[in-house]
Structure 1
Amino acid sequence: MSKYLLEIGTEEIPYRFMEDALNQMKNNMEKILDENRISYENVYTYGTPRRLVVLVEGINRLQEDLAEMVKGPSKRIAYNDSMEPSKALLGFARGQGVDIENIIIKEFNGEEYVYANKEVKGIETTKILTKHIPDYIKNIHFPKPMRWGGKNIKFARPIRWLISLLDNEIVEFELEGLVPSNKTRGHRFLGSDNITIENVEEYFTKLKENFVIVDGEKRKELIKTGCEKLAKEKGGNLLKDDELLNQLTYIVEYPTPLIGRIKEEYLQLPKEAIITPMKEHQRYFPVVDDNNKLMPYFIAVRNGNKEHLDTVTKGNEKVLDARLEDAKFFYNEDLKGNLESYVDNLKTIVYQEKLGTLYDKTKRVNELSIEIAKGLELGDETEENIDRASNLAKADLVTKMVNEFTELQGIMGREYAMKSGENEIVSLAIYEHYLPRFAEDELPTTTAGAVISIADKLDTICGCFAIGIQPTGSQDPYGLRRQALGIINIILNKNLDLSLNEYIETSLRIYIENELYFDFDKIKTQIVEFFNGRMKNMFIDKGIRYDVVDAVQSTGNDNITDLVIRLEELNKWVEKEELNEILAAFNRVIKIAEKAESDEIIRDLLQEEEEIQLYKVYREIKDEVHDFIQVKEYDKALDKVVYLRKPIDEFFDNVMVMVDDEELKRNRLALIKNISNIMLQICDLSKISNKG
């Protein structure tokens, strides 16, 4: 079987574009081959900073033949009474390119029709590739594409060359003046600019000879093992970072790790103040000992071979020295004042034009944090820590260190708080109030950090909704979806017993007190729906049935911790074999209960045996259901409610609810209303699908 290779040679593509582009290329190539009946064994994609590559192994050089039946006119139209072909049949056969002998008759929807037994011969694979590859390249989408040289095509970076080979044959096509050849380019500085690829089989070998390792997984492994080896040689361990490893994989074509030294004077800085410039600005790996203490080494990855590696290492050391010298200066300057001294400077930084300064946000978060702390009854000491930490939480944003290295926000706040004599809880809460910063990030460990984080994120969400910049479609410039999920996960992680709606109201009220005016009820409803949507998606992703989520959320319960318990219990409970019968009974209750104007039951007005029995069972289980709900044993509460199913069925089968006697009708509706109410304390069973 043959191999097909397409290489798109470019200027350096940003690493963050690569993985998605390679996935698109694999999926789209498989789609082209499948839709055009070209058999193949595997499709692989590879990428370096200067090339995107797709390799198809085991590709058939000929499209598969296609046998198909094409439906024509009905038999009564296709033939006359003597079974001779009509003009309609002759025209159909001619149009399909078949002889009359290849026409067969088959029944369709109770009537006979003629069909052309048509066979389409497969054409050469090269012709199909020639037709489809230009659009295949155009359809690779990037976050920020560009045009160049007056061309209409948009791509991540200008395309400089193309290879298109089926074994040793150039598959020709034209892409806005660009045509493929069998010529490629090696490493920009170490390899040749004119490498001839005679056959797909030699592609990877020839490029390696020219200092390009095309396979990203091989580059990643070389980086990983090479860096780990250098760290071990110094008696340390590589501080692993998968994101940094992925970045380096798509930044270099020929990786060579090197190890440099950090001057001892810089090791006196906080650990994060050293690591952040190394990783975020220079893409260096730190080295730590077995106790995770930073060692005086860093590991960089060169895009090249080992020649003059000592010179390259010294150059990297000088660059890092300059960065750490800046960090040392900023750190020492910042320590000339305590953390509290920076709070007033927050008045000079606009948080959001309509929402005020960072100082304004700090005061709002402080007030909301205290309200949450009081609602949770956390105690005086914790409340004092929350008060102090929330007032200092944003202060480090105006320090020189965070101004230069923004990734250190919160981290330096914690460090400066400790240097300023704040207690450990306050210091840690300043850092933790930013958590979680992204999906799968750590969550606050302290109660103070959790409360301030909730308040900070809720203030952002409520403020953005109030001024009309809530998420729309895929747009979420303020990361409100992420922050909502952060609040939900903190509440669940800390098992906090709080009403989310209550603190949405509190946050909005604080904004109004600070003279931001908006439609309170409308904005509150939008925010509640926003949170419900986030929770619904999260719970469904965790395996909860969508209708179970609807049933529980429909009760209006906004205690997230309690919601999860209900969801998990109901998700198991709905597996009951008799579920359909249960739902049928209670759906009738909920539907009719909507007509009730009162829930006051007058015992003396209960006349029929069935309504007396229903009332009796209701009275028997009412308190037990309430007790089970109080201790959050919702499955047992539901089981008790099910005792009502039989008397409900008998009631509806034998008692007329909507009678002419208004007093009697009102009383029967009140009975149904009470039964509905006791059910809705747990969930709304009318939302459950009996098909699951």
Structure 2
Amino acid sequence: MNVENLLIEIGTEELPPKSLAKLASNFAQNIEKAFTESEFSFSSVTWYATPRRLAVSVLQLAEMQNDRIVEVRGPAVTVAFDASGNPTPAAIGWAKSNGIKISNTTRLKTDKGEWLYYKGTEKGLAVSQLISTIVDKALATLPIPKPMKWGSNTIQFIRPIHTVTMVYGKKLVSGKVFGIESSRTILAHRFMGPKSFVLNCADDYLQDLKNNFVIADFTQRKELIRQQIQDAAAKENAVADMNDELLEEVASLVEWPVALVASFDESFLAVPKEALIYTMKGDQKYFPLLDSAGNLKSRFIFISNIESSKPELVISGNEKVIRPRLADAEFFFNTDKKHTLESRLESLDTILFQKQLGSLLDKTKRIANLASSIAQSLGADAELAHRAGMLSKTDLMTNMVMEFPDVQGIMGMYYATIDGENSEVATALNEQYMPRFSGDSLPQSPISISLAIADKIDTLVGIFGIGQVPKGDKDPFALRRAAIGLLRIIVDKNLPIDLEIVVEASISTFGDKVQMSGLKQAVVDFVLARFKAWYLEQGIEIDVIQAVSEIRPTRPADFAARVQAITLFKNNPAAITLAAANKRVANILAKNPVNDFNTIDSRLLKESAEQDLVNALEATEAKLEGLLGNGDYNGALENLAKLRGPIDDFFENVMVMADEQDIRNNRLHILSRLRALFLSCGDISLLSQQA
């Protein structure tokens, strides 16, 4: 069978840069799925994307589908033929719907009767017969939130389509996609070289485009941009401020990247660097340059989409573009400095936080009181925490933050410093939002920590309190992110914070604004549930997480300590045996509940194995009291492991459910004490019994 590479390209108007890679990869996945389901053999599928094209290459694609063995069972023979032996409408309809002749059928005999039956070979179709339908469907099912129409077409897509190219080896595959006939015409670079060229062979696609100033491989283009930026920054003795998200967006904006360096007036450096960096990266897609100390330089890198014979003109044009944006930032900064943050406090009452929860001023007052309480519990300055809380949202009313929302908190820190506020208060205004994203830094000072926790708890309690619980993937108030951030802070800093206490304190600040029944438990359970996703990402096994979750420790730092200890304990040779024994104990007690489990009557210990277990149990309880009090779960579990021998002997030599009721109850009391001991660290019975 003939095997060739297939190239599919859809030439369009400029595609949305933030969704380009997602569109292209989904297009490739849809194509791959379609060829797999259609039973074509191929080796791999690769996607390409530029601002003006989505393309897929299918390597080593067979020209024909594999032949299929078709087996179809029809109606029962008794209803397939009439008394004269002629086919009934039931048989005729079945044969017609399956494209077969009744004369080609046989009989299938089973213990339930005899049936019409057909078995044959269905010849595979050629790529050329199916490709248009496959591509049409692959494009139609792309994740496009707002498709558009163009011209007189009724067809919708994310952008107008100009060309469709489907080339199998050297052969043009004819057919229409979204009403456009397949051709060999490939759009070249919009400004450099010819407007289009003819693709003679699928294997020539990447090189032909490169010869026409288009780098079609998205990953290659992105890495080329990264390297160009690094090389340009090195020549400037600087480091470029770039992240993967910005690199990907810029790679989605250009087809032939050329890195150039431009500059701006040094007087703008008097403005906080974060505001300047935000406008350069966010608005202009530029890459700011920093010196070795992290200070912003008055130079930046931008990526041009043309290789100009006069690059100085391109540079000059970009310098003219950035100047008014930086001038705006400078104006906002100088204007904002004329008013203190404290003077803006009352204006927060004009901004609604949430209809049922009041204004930002209401939230500010709640945060301030809660932050003060948390700081006191941590041994930090409660008055400074309260001050930080009262100023925490005031920078939202500044011109700078209204224009550039991403610098909230950061500008609060700068303005607080200018106002002469305590340095810890100023720092807390920035760090209150940490961690802003996965992997972000955490607040450092006790005041910052108190404010960050208070802000997150207030949002969680408030939104839960009005019944706006996250459902599915809908989480408009980012409560999951707030909960994980809360856990990260408490666990990383090993803070002695009990969620039940801090949530209850937060609830009290709302007055009658929150009415949800069982609010405290709902919020605490929601936060604790985030441990599962967090720990699974770290490679912690699910049974370990469940073992700790089952006993619901409400101090996150304590929860984390138990997880670490049980993870280590699981590697202990005694762990599996003890887990099985603990599960056996739990099952027995579930069927035979006992009261007053602390009471063990030594006079009723008839067997040496039960006496040995009681002795070991009491000795272990004495040791664990101090270990658990100090949070030494590793030590506690090491001592529990020593019970393996006495427990094994007990179950091997003692009948728990003795005929004498007093002896039976006494032995159940032993098991209750044993169960309580194991639950002191986590529910060991939930550990997997795999070796």
TM score, norm. by length of structure 1: 0.87
The 3 A distance-change label for structure 1 pair 325 and 93 is closer
CA deviations on 1:37-72 (whole Å, 9 max, x unpaired) are 333333221111121111123323233445x48597
- CA shift for structure 1 position 405: 1.1
What is the letter of the counterpart of residue 172 of structure 2? I
Could you tell me which residue of structure 2 aligns to residue 632 of structure 1? 633
Could you tell me which residue of structure 2 aligns to residue 237 of structure 1? 239
Deviates more, 1:117-126 or 1:94-103: 94-103
1:511-660 matches, within 5 Å, as 511-512=510-511, 515-521=512-518, 523-577=519-573, 579=575, 581-593=577-589, 595-601=593-599, 603=601, 606=604, 608-609=606-607, 612-630=611-629, 631-633=632-634, 634-642=636-644, 645-646=647-648, 648-649=650-651, 653-656=655-658, 659=661
Could you tell me which residue of structure 2 aligns to residue 372 of structure 1? 374
The 3 A distance-change label for structure 1 pair 619 and 199 is closer
d(CA) in 1 for partners of 2:230 and 2:612? 77
Does the CA contact (< 8 Å) of 2:10 and 2:53 recur in 1?
yes
1:443-462 matches, within 5 Å, as 443-462=442-461
Does the CA contact (< 8 Å) of 1:605 and 1:667 recur in 2?
no
d(CA) in 2 for partners of 1:657 and 1:363? 66
1:214-613 matches, within 5 Å, as 214-376=216-378, 378-380=379-381, 383-512=382-511, 515-521=512-518, 523-577=519-573, 579=575, 581-593=577-589, 595-601=593-599, 603=601, 606=604, 608-609=606-607, 612-613=611-612
Does the CA contact (< 8 Å) of 1:43 and 1:54 recur in 2?
yes
- CA shift for structure 1 position 453: 1.1
CA deviations on 1:318-349 (whole Å, 9 max, x unpaired) are 22111111111111111112332222222221
- CA shift for structure 1 position 98: 12
d(CA) in 1 for partners of 2:537 and 2:159? 37
- CA shift for structure 1 position 196: 3.0
- CA shift for structure 1 position 471: 1.3
What is the letter of the counterpart of residue 5 of structure 1? L
The 3 A distance-change label for structure 1 pair 130 and 333 is closer
CA deviations on 1:233-279 (whole Å, 9 max, x unpaired) are 43433223322111110011222222221102111212112211111
Deviates more, 1:325-334 or 1:445-454: 445-454
CA deviations on 1:453-485 (whole Å, 9 max, x unpaired) are 121111111111111222111111111111111
d(CA) in 1 for partners of 2:114 and 2:442? 69
d(CA) in 1 for partners of 2:375 and 2:659? 49
CA deviations on 1:532-578 (whole Å, 9 max, x unpaired) are 32111221222222122111111121222222222222233234555
Unmatched 5+ residue regions in structure 1?
78-86
Equivalenced residues, count: 671
d(CA) in 1 for partners of 2:659 and 2:345? 67
d(CA) in 2 for partners of 1:654 and 1:257? 79
> Quick one: which of 35, 38, 41 aligns to 2:37?
35
d(CA) in 2 for partners of 1:681 and 1:669? 19
d(CA) in 1 for partners of 2:540 and 2:414? 42
Does the CA contact (< 8 Å) of 1:141 and 1:155 recur in 2?
no
Deviates more, 1:493-502 or 1:478-487: 493-502
Could you tell me which residue of structure 2 aligns to residue 83 of structure 1? none
What is the letter of the counterpart of residue 596 of structure 1? V
What is the letter of the counterpart of residue 367 of structure 1? N
What is the letter of the counterpart of residue 556 of structure 2? I
Does the CA contact (< 8 Å) of 1:629 and 1:637 recur in 2?
no
Deviates more, 1:211-220 or 1:578-587: 578-587
SS at match of 1:367: helix
What is the letter of the counterpart of residue 278 of structure 1? M
The 3 A distance-change label for structure 1 pair 288 and 101 is same
1:114-153 matches, within 5 Å, as 119-148=121-150
Does the CA contact (< 8 Å) of 1:96 and 1:118 recur in 2?
no
d(CA) in 2 for partners of 1:223 and 1:671? 70
d(CA) in 1 for partners of 2:358 and 2:654? 60
SS at match of 1:46: strand
Deviates more, 1:216-225 or 1:202-211: 202-211
d(CA) in 2 for partners of 1:569 and 1:122? 59
> Quick one: which of 203, 206, 209 aligns to 2:205?
203
Does the CA contact (< 8 Å) of 2:466 and 2:516 recur in 1?
no
d(CA) in 2 for partners of 1:28 and 1:310? 44
What is the letter of the counterpart of residue 158 of structure 1? P
Deviates more, 1:426-435 or 1:126-135: 126-135
d(CA) in 1 for partners of 2:63 and 2:227? 40
What is the letter of the counterpart of residue 598 of structure 1? D
d(CA) in 2 for partners of 1:472 and 1:578? 41
SS at match of 1:7: strand
Does the CA contact (< 8 Å) of 1:163 and 1:181 recur in 2?
yes
Could you tell me which residue of structure 2 aligns to residue 80 of structure 1? none
CA RMSD of aligned residues (A): 3.6
What is the letter of the counterpart of residue 572 of structure 1? L
The 3 A distance-change label for structure 1 pair 165 and 601 is same
CA deviations on 1:264-315 (whole Å, 9 max, x unpaired) are 2111212112211111111111122233322221222222231443333222
The 3 A distance-change label for structure 1 pair 600 and 351 is same
Could you tell me which residue of structure 2 aligns to residue 158 of structure 1? 160
Does the CA contact (< 8 Å) of 2:574 and 2:641 recur in 1?
no
d(CA) in 1 for partners of 2:430 and 2:31? 47
CA deviations on 1:599-627 (whole Å, 9 max, x unpaired) are 35163763644655544332222111222
What is the letter of the counterpart of residue 672 of structure 1? L
Does the CA contact (< 8 Å) of 1:254 and 1:303 recur in 2?
yes
SS at match of 2:288: strand
Does the CA contact (< 8 Å) of 1:190 and 1:304 recur in 2?
yes
Could you tell me which residue of structure 2 aligns to residue 81 of structure 1? none
The 3 A distance-change label for structure 1 pair 139 and 655 is closer
The 3 A distance-change label for structure 1 pair 600 and 292 is closer
Does the CA contact (< 8 Å) of 1:6 and 1:165 recur in 2?
yes
- CA shift for structure 1 position 148: 4.8
Deviates more, 1:643-652 or 1:502-511: 643-652
Identity rate, percent: 32
Could you tell me which residue of structure 1 aligns to residue 169 of structure 2? 167
The 3 A distance-change label for structure 1 pair 58 and 605 is same
The 3 A distance-change label for structure 1 pair 690 and 229 is closer
d(CA) in 2 for partners of 1:638 and 1:43? 55
Does the CA contact (< 8 Å) of 2:464 and 2:516 recur in 1?
no
SS at match of 1:653: coil
- CA shift for structure 1 position 225: 3.2
d(CA) in 2 for partners of 1:14 and 1:593? 62
The 3 A distance-change label for structure 1 pair 475 and 517 is closer
1:41-60 matches, within 5 Å, as 41-60=43-62
d(CA) in 1 for partners of 2:296 and 2:539? 42
d(CA) in 2 for partners of 1:617 and 1:125? 75
The 3 A distance-change label for structure 1 pair 191 and 483 is farther
Deviates more, 1:330-339 or 1:399-408: 330-339
Could you tell me which residue of structure 2 aligns to residue 676 of structure 1? 675
